[in-house]
Structure formats: structure tokens, C-alpha cells
Amino acid sequence: MADKPTKGLADVVAASTALSDIDGQAGRLFYRGYDIHDLAGRTTFEETAHLLQCGTLPTREQLAAYGAELVQGRTLGALVEANVAEVAAKQAPMEALRTLVSLAGADDPDKDSNAPEANRRKAARLTAQQPLLVARYHAARTGTRIPEPDPALSVAANFLLQITGRAADTRAVEIFDACLVLHADHTMNASTFAARVCAATLSDMHSAVVAAIGTLKGPLHGGANEQVMRTLEALDPSGVAQAVRDRLAAGEKIMGFGHRVYKTEDPRATHLRKMSQELAEASGDDTYYRMSKEMEEVVFETKGLYPNVDFYAATVYHYLGIPTDLFTPVFSVSRMSGWTAHVIEQHADNRLIRPDSEYIGERDQKWKPIGER
């Protein structure tokens, strides 16, 4: 008979990884041994993706080669182009991405191979395509044409250009780039676990990423950043504290707070709070930032909970001009680098992931023919 399960697999070590590590007590996060505080704002998203997918922070030559691969990968397959308008008309952003990434797999030249080199190439292509898929979807649903990707621009700069239709200023690009770095990987979070379970059946990288996107979509995971903004938009700025207290008293969860692993402040939230404040002040209307600070204080006072990555990411994206329903897709733009690195790692040393379950149903039932039930 199986042991009692740990609900939600809390504290269960489900895989070995050299990609990222969390010290939940100290509130620290590392990518391949590098402290996130050393990377954010100093290392670009492209360098971070190379670190995760290829194993090292790149030299200038390696970065040039990887960057060229990303630029070349910024194209969408014929199947995506043929279907994006209908998908955009019928599906919400995360549903659409689930569909579009699946369609993109059909046109990937390495789709039938899980070999290490094929996986690495697919990882770069998926990382290059994801921001383009979000932008293309947004253009299709708004009936606009996105500016062509500019090969001279970084992933962050291109995305802001394609989503907002205008070139972002240098500081906005730096901030968004740091956001992408902060969201790139996070040990055995739910979507990464889903990707690894799929990959461990020796299924392909696109299938694993589709599983991850479906998992990220939920409000307890990546969907929280959108919910944070919806909460801020719904609150009366002068009644934040009371409204939050009332919600907590009613047993409601406040999105953007709490974490399975961090027992102190999420180190990513430390950066995002500062970015939110900077952008709020620069925008000339810091209402949402001030409301966020007040929410943070009340939730801590009442429940002892800290903000997680999604809390201040919401206002950062808002001030950057990103539509609220694209916040979770933005998360996927960054996390694609981590998911794909995990698939590479899983395939490199694979064993089927197949846990046990505790049976809690009826036993010794007596079968009866349909007419006697």
C-alpha cells in the first residue's frame, strides 16, 4: 500500500536539476549557481537563456551566435500564419498560445527528433518565437499589423515595439529585459513540472511546452499577475486597506501573495517593487503603485504573507503599456527559456515520471447488470 500522499507534493523532490535553486528560508534564487540579484539588471535575457539552455553565461562570440539564432528564429510557420486570425477571434490569450505553439511545432524542422542538438535548436527557436506569437495574436485580434521584428533589437525591445507599436525608451527596455530575466526559471514550479512529466515519456519539446502553457494559465500560477491588476482596477484607491481586510476575513485569497517555497520575501519581488515604483513615478500617476504598497502592508499585517513575483510584475507591465490580458503570456515569453532547458535536461538523463497514488474510493463493490443498478 502506498504511503500517505503529501498534498500538492509539497517538499517532495521530484527531479534533479542543475538549472535553478531556491533557498526558501533566506529568500534567494540562483540560475546555475548565479544569484538572481547579480543577474537582474546586469545580464540580458539572451545571456540568461543561453545560460539555461547551453550551460554557461556566453562569451561575446557565443552571445553573437546565439543572438543570431534567435533573430533567425523570429518567424512563424505557415500553419500559424494560416490560423492565427481564427484563433485570435475565438481564444483568450493563453488558450491561443497553447494552440499556436502546437501549430508552430508542425513547421519546426527538428520536430521529429529529441536528440540533444535538435533539442537545443528547438529551445532557441521556441524562445525566439514566443514573443512573436504573443504580438501576432494581439495584432490579429486588434486588426493591426505589427512592426516587422528588427534584427538589431533585443528580445525585450522587439516585444515592446511589437506590442505597443512604438519603440520603447532605453530605461523601459532595461526594465522589461530584467523582468524577463527574473521570470526565466524557478525550479519545480507547476508548469515546469508539467513540461518534465510530458518530456519524460520521451514526447517532444513542443508537446512538453504546450503542457507547460496550459499549466501556467491557472490563477494559482502564472495567471496571478493578470488577477493582481484586475484586483487593483476594481478597488477604490481610498478603500484599499478595508477591502483587503474584508476579503481576507471572508477567506478569499489575495492574488500575488504567498508562495509554496519562499518563507520570506521572494527575491524577484524585491526587484519588481523597485521597478514598479520607478515606472509609476515616471508616469506621473503612481496610484496603482501606492495601492499595491498598501495591499502589501495589510496582507502582511493580517496574514504574514509576502508578495510573490506576480504582485509587482502586474504594475510594471501595466506602466510599460502591456495590455492586462497579456501579462500571463509575457510570463510565458520568459519562462519558455526555462521550460525548454528543463526538457533538454530531462531528455539527457531520462526516467518516466510516474508517481503512485493513495486509493480512497470504495472497495469490494458487487457488479450488477445495468437493469438492476
Annotated catalytic residues are: 259, 310
Longest alpha-carbon distance in the chain: 76
Site string for ligand COA, 7-26 (x = CB under 6 A): -x------------------
Nearest CA-CA partner of 222 in 98, 49, 73, 305 = 98
Contacting residue, 104, 254, 280, 341, with ligand COA by CB under 6 A: 254
Stretch that binds ligand COA, among 87-95, 172-180, 199-207, 254-262 (CB under 6 A): 254-262
Distances (CA, A) of 35 to 39, 58, 123, 207, 259: 7, 16, 23, 31, 19
In angstroms, give the least distance from the CB of 285 to ligand COA: 25
Say whether residue 310 binds ligand COA (CB under 6 A).
yes
Instruction: Determine the Cα–Cα distance for residues 43 and 36; give it in Å rounded to an integer.
Output: 10
In angstroms, give the least distance from the CB of 149 to ligand COA: 30
User: CB-based burial of residue 56 (10 Å sphere; 0-12 exposed, 13-18 middle, 19+ buried)?
Assistant: exposed
Say whether residue 309 binds ligand COA (CB under 6 A).
yes
Site string for ligand COA, 173-212 (x = CB under 6 A): ----------------------------------------
In angstroms, give the least distance from the CB of 208 to ligand COA: 21
Contacting residue, 259, 268, 273, 347, with ligand COA by CB under 6 A: 259
CB atoms within 10 A of CB 160: 26
Contacting residue, 308, 328, 334, 346, with ligand COA by CB under 6 A: 308
Q: How far is C-alpha 240 from the geometric centre of its chain's CA atoms?
A: 28
Answer whether 178's CB lies under 8 Å from 271's CB.
yes
In angstroms, give the least distance from the CB of 348 to ligand COA: 27
Nearest CA-CA partner of 316 in 189, 207, 182, 206 = 182
Cell 534584427 maps to which residue?
151
Contacting residue, 195, 209, 235, 255, with ligand COA by CB under 6 A: 255
Summarize as ranges the residues that interact with ligand COA (CB under 6 A). 8, 220-221, 224, 248, 253-260, 303, 305, 308-310
